[in-house]
Structure 1
C-alpha cells in the first residue's frame, strides 16, 4: 500500500507529503488561478471603463508585464487545477511553476520598488493591483515551495527564463517608441535618458538572474542534493 502511494507522487526523486497532482495541490492551484483571473478581469473592467472599446482594452492590457505575467500564471494554474498530469512531465511542471514563481516575484518587487504610489487606485484598479502585485507574488512562490517536486531545477534555467522578460522589454520599447507612451516610466529614454534606462534594466535583469539562482540553490537544498551532483542524476521525467 505504501509503495503504491509513493508511485503516485508527482516527483519520484523526492516523494512529498503533498504531490502536485494531489487534491490539496489542485485546490490551491485553482485558488491561485482564481486570483490571477480576478486580477485580470478587474483590470479589463477598469480599462474598458476608460476606453469604452474591447480592442483598446486588450491593447492597453497587453502593454504591461504585470498583465502578461498574470495571464501566463492564470493559464498555467488553471491547467494544474484541471489536469496536472496531462500538462507535462513532472520535471517540466516543476520548472514551469518555478519560472512562474520567479516572474511573479519580479512583478511584485519592481512594483514595490519603482512603481508604488505613482497614481491613486480605487475600485477595479485597486482590486487588480492587489491580486496581481500582492497576492500572486506571494501565492505562486508558496505553491512552488509546498507542492513542486524538488531537485528538478538546473543552473541554466534562470538564464533560459530571462528570454521572456527580455523579449517583453524589447516589445515595450518598440511599442513605446511607436506610440509615444511607455508603459513604465523607468524605460522612458526620452524622459530619463537611454543610459539611465540601460542601467535600470541591467540592474533588474541581474536581480532576476540572482533570485533565479537562489531559487535553484533552494531547490537543491530542499531536495537534499549536494552541489555538483545534480547534473549526474538521471532525469526521471
Structure 2
C-alpha cells in the first residue's frame, strides 16, 4: 500500500486504540472497586468493543506494512457500519463528558474514518456476492458468544438478544431481520466496490492496479 494509505490507517488505528482505552478508563472510574480484568471482561460482551478491537489490530498491521485482503478490508468496514447504524438507529443514549466523547468515537468517528479509508485506499478487486454471506460470519459468531455468555452470567448486552426480557421468539425475529439487513448491505458493498474499482480514475503517477484478487 502507498504511504498515504498506511499513514491514514495508522491514524485510524490510533483513534480506535484511544477510544478503547478511554472506554475502559471510564468504566474503571465508575467502578473504582473493580480490577482492570473485571472491566475488560465486562466490556468484552459488546459487539462494538470487539469490532473496534478488530479494526485497531488490523489497521495497526496495515500501518506496519502488511497487505490486507479485499474481503477483510470490506468486511471490517461493513461491520463498523453496522455498529454505527444499530447504535444511532436504536441504541443511542444521552451522555455527557468523557462518556459522550468515547461513545461517539466508537460509534461515529471510527466507522466514518474507516469508511473513508476503504473508499480511498483499500483493495477492492475480486469481491463477489458470496462475500456478503461470508461477512455474516463475524456477527453470527458474536451472536452465539453473546447468547451463550448471557445464559451463563445472566447479562445480555443488547435488548434485542435478551431472551429473558423479550422472549426467544422476539430474539429470533430480531436476528432474522438484522441478518437480512446486513446481507443486503453486504451486497451493496460488493456492488460499490466493483464500481469504484472499475470506474474511479487513477491519479497520475500511480502504478497500475494489480488485477489479481487481493
Structure-2 residue corresponding to 1:185: 159
Deviation of 1:236 (Å): 5.3
Q: Which residue of 16, 25, 28 corresponds with 1:36?
A: 16
> Which stretch shifts more, 63-72 or 50-59?
50-59
Can you list the C-alpha shifts for 1:116-161, whole angstroms capped at 9, x where unaligned? 12xx423332222111101122111111111013322121112112
Matches within 5 A, 1:130-209: 130-209=104-183
Partner of 2:63: 81
Counterpart residue number, 2:87: 111
Secondary structure in structure 1 of the residue aligned to 2:69: helix
Q: Is the 8 A contact 1:150 1:220 kept in 2?
A: yes
Aligned to 1:126: 100
**Cα distance in structure 1, aligned partners of 2:51 and 2:181:** 17
Corresponding residue of 2:204: none
Residue in structure 2 matched with residue 230 of structure 1 by the alignment: none
Q: Is the 8 A contact 1:32 1:140 kept in 2?
A: yes
* 1:11-30 superposed matches below 5 A: 21-30=1-10
Return closer, same or farther for 1:186/1:40 CA change in 2, 3 Å cut-off: same
Aligned length: 201
Q: Is the 8 A contact 2:125 2:213 kept in 1?
A: no
The equivalent of 1:231 in structure 2 is none
Partner of 2:208: none
Q: What is the TM-score of this pair, normalised by structure 1?
A: 0.80
Aligned to 2:188: 214
Of 208-217 and 124-133, more deviation after overlay is shown by 124-133
Range that drifts further, 184-193 or 65-74: 184-193
d(CA) in 2 for partners of 1:170 and 1:150?
30
Which blocks of at least 5 consecutive residues in structure 2 are unaligned?
Answer: 200-210
Deviation, 1:30, is 1.1
- Higher alpha-carbon Rg: 1
CA RMSD of superposed structures (Å)? 1.6
CA contact (8 A) 1:45 1:124 kept: no
- Pick from 13, 19, 28: which aligns with 1:48? 28
- Name the residue aligned to 2:203: none
Question: Hey, what does 1:228 align to over in structure 2?
Answer: none
Runs of 4+ more than 4 Å apart: none
Instruction: Give 1:4's aligned residue.
Output: none
Which SS does the other structure have where 2:88 is aligned? Answer: helix
